[in-house]
Amino acid sequence: MKKLLTGNEAVAVGAYEAGIHYAAAYPGTPSTEILENIAPYKEEIIAEWAPNEKVALESALGASIAGARSLAAMKHVGLNVAADPFFTAGYTGVNGGFVLVVADDPGLHSSQNEQDNRYYARSAKVAMVEPSNSQEAKDMVKAAIKISEEFDTLVLFRMTTRICHSKSLVEVGEREEVSMKKYEKNLQKYYVAPAVAKQLHVNLEERLKKLEEFSNNTDLNYIEWNDKKIGIVSSGVAYQYAKEVFGKNASYLKLGFTYPLPMEKIKKFAEEVDTLYVVEELEPYLEDQIKAAGIDCIGKDKIPNIWELNSEIVATALLEEEKSIIDYDKSKVVNRPPTLCAGCPHRGFFYGLSKRKDVMITGDIGCYTLGGADPLGAMDTTICMGASISVGHGAKKVFDKYNKDMRVVSVIGDSTFFHTGINSLLDVVYNNSNTITCILDNRVTGMTGHQENPGTGYTLQGDVTKMANIPDIVKALGIEHVKTVNPLKLEDLNKAFDWAFELDEPSVIITRYPCALKKLSEFDKKEFEVPSGTFGVDEDKCIGCKMCVNTGCPAIQFVKEDKKAKIDPVQCVGCELCEQVCPVNAISKVGE
């Protein structure tokens, strides 16, 4: 039977068919849907959201050591968080097969960088495979599990946004029921004290030699002979772009197993063609190794190493062909940057915070990152998950030492706080900082699509669980000044700001209100009274001051001809924020 699947969906099917027993992840675009699509296989697979990627990888490694076939998934920057156990897993190897799916994001569709994680496989000296479409994504998970068990290695499964989210037909099959492997205590394999690690490194180098031999013989790396004037070495989605451009006018060495590289096969292929191109996305990972082996090739001297690749870029770079596109009047195209949704609880928070003077606002990764955009402009930094509190702490320490009259407000979401914010807040307490930490609890992991987290009361597979209490956690860390407010009640919010700004000790403000798009859980329904109806503008009262427009709500527009504000009833969710900021009471509820 064939199904039209995204690459992420295909990985989930592949995990099921491969007989995987355990899977863990932290949600992050473009990898999020992998675990979401594994979760329904509740009878066969334990699937869990972990608080962060390091925990996900460690949990999956533990499952593997116990004898289970396991999988962990994360986006590319998530592997930075998980790098510590990842590198050590390269030494220990596995028991049950272990696949680590990492989704790179060329083009930065939803990321703070576009690092090329293929280098991670080379640095940690673990096997790596790269699918080029959804069918391969499914098939290669199954192949990767077998490689993992045969060669006693974690397998890095490298995907990119285009593979993760594009759909193609996939032949689906039945699950291979595989028994758990026997667990045996083995200190010389898993007890990585320095003396053990020294021998494990020797074993690792021997394993790499075997993997390179495999790489030269596996059908995951194959040649398509056509015209031999041009030869193309490629992997991942870049292979598809090359095929679209050159078709039968070139021969291809398609690499699916990309660490260690099949250098013997590459050399033989290069000898058969007149000109060798290396077509790859982002960094010259393949090209550098091919050139280091003494093989002449053309790659990044023509193909850019920034942003997402496509067939037009390949054609322009290698054939100097400009693809014609439909011309249009660009002056009529409105720039539409991302914005906080209508009714977003973060909007009230940032609106209130934007009025404070002499404040450095250190931000984090999440929907609330948009608080830095116009018209709110209430954020100064965004670095990585959990960095808001640490960056804020360092900045405040320096401001205080050098008598700079600046307050620091660190802004972090609920899921991000669980991810890596807890350690950072502990640092604030331990080193006697005087920052204001604001934890924006919208009752869900919002930006990646409403996944559960330790604070929602539910697991990935829908089981009711203990709900992490953020105020209790904060107090347990040593914060003595804690307030919880509804961010859509501006008067209460501003009182909380006044309170915190007057303190000479660290404080935490927790804004607690559900995401405007969230399907309310039973817990939410008991706790929150969600507003109903919509709001409208009385044109006779409106003075055109744009105070409501400056909240940044997409439901509000300013009609230049009339010099009046207008609210779109379709977008309005009745959050009441605009009513609170209007100085002339021109905004009121108009519908239920």
Q: How far is 148 from 69, CA to CA, in rounded Å?
A: 10
Beta-carbon contacts of 368 under 8 Å, excluding residues fewer than 6 positions away, are 340, 346, 349, 350, 411, 413, 440
The model's pLDDT over 522-579, given as tens digits with 9 standing for 90+, comes to 999 999 988 888 999 999 999 999 999 999 999 999 999 999 999 999 999 999 999 9
Instruction: Give which of 239, 304, 293, 298 is closest to 268, Cα–Cα.
Output: 293
Q: How far is 218 from 236, CA to CA, in rounded Å?
A: 16
Q: How far is 380 from 371, CA to CA, in rounded Å?
A: 10
Does the N-terminal peptide bond of residue 30 adopt cis geometry, omega within 30 degrees of 0? Answer: yes
Cα distances from 249 to residues 157, 239, 246, 319, 478, in angstroms, run 30, 14, 5, 12, 67
Instruction: Give which of 421, 363, 364, 431 is closest to 397, Cα–Cα.
Output: 431
Consecutive H or E run containing 160: strand 155-160
**Model pLDDT, residue 332:** 84
Consecutive H or E run containing 215: helix 194-217
Amino acid at 336: R
Tens digit of pLDDT at every position of the chain (592 positions) = 999 999 999 999 999 999 999 999 999 999 999 999 999 999 999 999 999 999 999 999 999 999 999 999 999 999 999 999 999 999 999 999 999 999 999 888 888 889 999 999 999 999 999 999 999 999 999 999 999 999 999 999 999 999 999 999 999 999 999 999 999 999 999 999 999 999 999 999 999 999 999 999 999 999 999 999 999 999 999 999 999 999 999 999 999 999 999 999 999 999 999 999 999 999 999 999 999 999 999 999 999 999 989 899 989 888 887 777 788 888 888 888 889 999 999 999 999 999 999 999 999 999 999 999 999 999 999 999 999 999 999 999 999 999 788 999 999 999 999 999 999 999 999 999 999 999 999 999 998 999 999 999 999 999 999 999 999 999 999 999 999 999 999 999 999 999 999 999 999 999 999 999 999 999 999 999 888 889 999 999 999 999 999 999 999 999 999 999 999 999 999 999 999 999 999 999 987 6
Q: Check residue 108 and give left, alpha or beta (phi > 0: left; psi -120 to 50: alpha).
A: left
All structural domains of the chain: 2-217 (3.40.50.970), 221-319 (3.40.50.920), 345-527 (3.40.50.970), 534-591 (3.30.70.20)
What does the buried/exposed string (b/e) look like for 333-371 if buried means 16 or more CB atoms within 10 Å of the residue's CB?
Answer: eeeeeebbbbbbbbbbbbbbbbebeebbbbbbbbbbbbb
Consecutive H or E run containing 577: helix 577-581
